[in-house]
Structure 1
Amino acid sequence: MRRAARLQLLLGLPAVALIFVFMILPITNMVEMSFRTPGVTEPFGNDYTLMHYGRVLGDPYYWGALGRSLLVATTVTVLCLIVSYPVAWHLSKADGLKMVILYALIASPLMTGVLVRNFGWMIIAALNGPLNQSLLGLGLIDRPLRLLFTQGLVVLALVHVFMPFMVLPINNAIRNISPSLVEAAASMGASRSATFRDIVLPLSFPGIQAGVTLVFVLAIAAYVTPALLGGQMVTYMPTQIIAELTGTFRWPLGSTLAIGLSLTTLLVVAVFTLATWRLLDRVRA
C-alpha cells in the first residue's frame, strides 16, 4: 500500500470509529433489545422472544400513533416547502449585508434552546396569550381559541424550527443555476413564469429533494415539541417510545417501537427517492 493510501486510511479511521461507536453499536444493541423478554425486577429479561413485534403489529393504538407521526411529518414537510421556496429564491438573489441579515433571520430558530422556544409558543398560544388577545381585539373571534395542546400548534412550531433545513439546500441549488440559462430563455421570448417553470424549478430540484428528505426525517422523529405542545391527549410515536423507555421501563417494547419508526422512515424516504430519481437524473443530465 502506497504512503498516500495509508495516510488516507489513517485520516478516515476517526470518522469510522465515531460511526461505529455512536451509530452502529447503539442500533445493534437496540435491535438485540427488541427481542428480549420482559423483565420482572429489571427493564428486560435474559431470554428472547418475538412477542413485542406481535404486540406492536396487532395493536391499533401503536398504528394510530405511527399514523399521526406520519401525518404531522408530511404536513410539516409540505408547509416547509411552500414557505421556504420563496424565501430561498430571495436569499439566492441577495448579497452583502442583506444576505447576512437574511441568513441570520433564517437561522434564528436554531439559535434558541428547544425548551425556551417551545415555552415561547406556549405563552403565545395560551387562552390569554398575545395571539388570542390580538384576535379578540381585532374582532375576528368572540372568545379565545384553544390553540395549546393541539396538533395544529405542533405542526406550526415544527415548521418554524425546521424551515432552515429546507431553505438552505434550495438556496444552494438555485445559486448553482447558471444565469446564462435564464438570460437565454428570456432572449428567446420566454416569459418569467415559463422560465421559472421550465428552467429554475427543475434545476433547483436537487435542493428540494434534499430539503424534503431532511425535514421529513427530523419531523417524524421530533419528541420535545410534540410532548410539550401536543400534551397528553394525542400520542405520537416518538413520545410513546420515550414513555416506554423511561416511564414504564419496558425497554424491549420501546426498542421495538423505535425500530418500527426507523423502518417506516426508511421506507418513506426510499419510496420518495425512487419516485423522484428519474427527474433528478434528467436535471443532472
Structure 2
Amino acid sequence: MKNARTLRLLLAVPAVALIFVFMILPITNMVDMSFRTPGTSQPFGDQYTLMNYTRILGDNYYWGVLARSLLTAATVTFICLVVSYPIAWHLSRAKGMKAALLYACIASPLMTGVLVRNFGWMIIAALNGPLNETLIGLGIIERPLRLLFTQGLVVLALVHVFVPFMVLPINNALRNIPASLLEASASMGASRYRVFRDIVLPLSFPGIQPGIILVYVLAVAAYVTPALLGGHMVTYMPTVIIAELTGTFRWPLGSSLAIMLSVSTVTIVIIFTMLTWKLLERARP
C-alpha cells in the first residue's frame, strides 16, 4: 500500500514540475513585474509601486479596451454555441464514414496555420475581394463594403476557428444520452420540442458548460486574429498588452494590463460556473 502511494506521488512529480515551471513561475514573475517602477535604461526599475494600477484604473481608454475584449469574447462564445449545437447533434448521431467526414470538416480550421487562415480572411474581405465582387454581381450592393479592420470580421474569424472547441465537448455529452431514454419519451407522447427542452438540453449541459468556458477564455486571449483583421481600427486588450511589452518596452505597465485582463476573465468564469452549477448537478446521473 505504501509503495503504491509512493509510486503515485512519483508519477505526479513531472506534471507538478511542468505546471510550476510553465505556469506558476511566469504568473508570479508577471505579478512581480506589474508592481515595478518604469526603468530608464531598462524595461523596469528596481523599486515597487502602485502607479501602474493607478494609471490603468483611472484611464477610461483601458476600461473601454477591456470592455470591448470581454464583450467580443462573449459574442464569439454565443455565436459558437448557436452554430455548434446542431453540428454536435448531427455528429453524435452519425456513424461510420459520415462521422469521419464530419470530424474532418469540424477540425479543418485547426489544420491551417493561424497566419494563413487570417490572410485568407483578409483576401476575402478586401474591397476588391471575392465577397464584395459577389455581392456587387448579385446586385445586393452598389459599391464595395469596408469589411476589413472591423469588429464584425474579427468576430467572424474567431468563430470560424473556435467552433471545434465548442462542438467536441457538446458532442461527447450528447453521445452519453441513452437512445432508449429518448425513445421512451417519444413513446409516451412527448413532442420533439419537449424532448429536446426537458431531456436533451439539460443532459447535454456537461458539454455546454466547458465548451462555453473554453471558447470564452480562448477568445479573450486571442491576439493574432484581432491584430491582423482588426488592425488599428479595432483595439483589444491582448494587442495593447503586446504593444506595451514589445513596442514601447514598458514591461510593468504591460504586466499590469495582463493581470487586469486575467483577473477579469477569471472572475467572469467563476461567476458563470457558480450560476450554472445547479444545472450541471441536475445533469449528472
TM-score class, shorter: over 0.9
2:232 is the alignment partner of 1:232: yes
Q: Does 1:70 align with 2:58?
A: no
Percent identity between the two aligned chains: 76
Partner Cα distance (1:48, 1:129) in 2: 51
Correspondence for 2:124:
124
The residue identity in structure 2 corresponding to 1:90 is: H
- Structure 1 unaligned segments of length 5 or more: list them: none
Show the counterpart of 2:139: 139
C-alpha distance in 1 between matches for 2:42 and 2:148: 37
* 1:281 equivalent in structure 2: 281
Task: State the SS of the aligned residue for 1:46.
Answer: strand
Kindly provide the amino acid, as one letter, of the partner of residue 62 in structure 2.
Y
Q: CA deviation at 1:180?
A: 1.4
* Residue of structure 1 equivalent to 2:211: 211
Q: Which residue of 2 aligns with 1:160?
A: 160
1:174, 1:200 → 2: CA distance?
7
Provide, for residues 171-222 of structure 1, a one-character-per-residue CA deviation record: whole Å limited to 9, x for no partner: 0000000111101101111011111111001100111101000000000110
CA offsets per residue over residues 8-31 of structure 1, 9 Å max, x none?
111111100000000000000000
Residues in 2 aligned to 1:161 and 1:44: alpha-carbon distance in whole angstroms: 36
Q: CA RMSD in A?
A: 0.7
State whether structure 2 residue 27 is matched by structure 1 residue 27: yes
Partner of 1:175: 175
Query: Matches of 1:153 and 1:174 in 2, distance apart?
Result: 31
| Counterpart residue number, 2:248 | 248
Instruction: Tell me, in whole angstroms, the C-alpha distance in 1 between the residues paired with 2:238 and 2:218.
Output: 11
* Secondary structure, counterpart of 2:55 in structure 1: helix
Equivalent position amino acid for 2:261 in 1: L
Secondary structure of residue in 2 paired with 1:180: helix
Instruction: Give the total of aligned pairs.
Output: 285
Using the alignment, how far apart are the partners of 1:135 and 1:234 within structure 2? 25
Separation in 2 of the partners of 1:93 and 1:190? 20
What amino acid does structure 2 have at the position aligned with 1:182?
A: L
1:284 and 1:204 map into 2 onto residues whose CA distance is: 10
* Matched position secondary structure for 1:45: strand
Counterpart residue number, 2:40: 40
Q: Paired residue for 2:96?
A: 96
Question: What letter corresponds to residue 161 of structure 1 in structure 2?
Answer: V
Q: State how far apart, in whole Å, the 1-side matches of 2:166 and 2:173 are.
A: 11
In structure 1, give the amino acid aligned to 2:85.
Answer: Y
**AA at the equivalent of 2:209:** Q
Structure 2: 5+ residue stretches without partners = none
Where does structure 1 differ by over 2 angstroms across 4 or more consecutive aligned residues? none
Residue 177 of structure 2 aligns to a residue whose secondary structure is coil
CA distance in 1, matches of 2:184, 2:234: 53
What is the CA-CA distance between 1:284 and the residue it aligns to?
A: 1.4
Paired residue secondary structure (2:169): helix
Shift of 1:233: 1.6
Q: What do residues 55-108 of structure 1 show as CA deviations (whole Å, max 9, x unaligned)?
A: 000000000110110111000000000000000000000010110110010000
- Matches of 1:187 and 1:167 in 2, distance apart? 29
1:61 correspondence with 2:40: no
Once the two structures are TM-superposed, the CA of residue 167 in structure 1 deviates from its matched residue by 0.3
Deviations for 1:22-50, whole angstroms, at most 9, x for unmatched residues? 00000000000000000001000000000
Structure 2 counterparts to residues 104-115 of structure 1, below 5 A: 104-115=104-115
Counterparts of 2:235 and 2:115, CA distance in 1: 19
Counterparts of 2:113 and 2:157 in 1: how far apart (Å)? Answer: 13
